[in-house]
Amino acid sequence: MKKHCCDYMDYHANFTCDVHSEPFACPDNLILFDKTNKEYSLIIHDGGSSIIGILFCPWCGTKL
């Protein structure tokens, strides 16, 4: 898989949960990475499928 800006982003952008099949159902899933558009979003755990796009890495500050 593609290497992201830092190890933390790489881990969270590629995170898969063994318990939850949907990323929005897993409280440990923080980042949604759209491989087609190469866009990053934070998952808003509000019981739905809300996300908010981000332009900078929350861990290292690199422009995405």
Residue-wise pLDDT for 23-43, tens only, equals 999 999 999 999 999 999 999
Amino acid at 48: G
Q: What is the pTM of this model?
A: 0.86
Answer yes or no: are the C-beta atoms of 33 and 40 closer than 8 Å. yes
Q: What is each CA distance from 1 to 31, 37, 64, in whole angstroms? A: 15, 15, 17
Task: Compute the mean pLDDT over every residue in the chain, rounded to the nearest whole number.
Answer: 94
pLDDT at 2 over 70: no
Strand order in the sheet with 31-34: 31-34, 39-44, 50-54
> For 38, left (φ over 0), alpha (ψ -120 to 50), or beta?
left
pLDDT at 49 over 90: yes
pLDDT at 52 over 80: yes
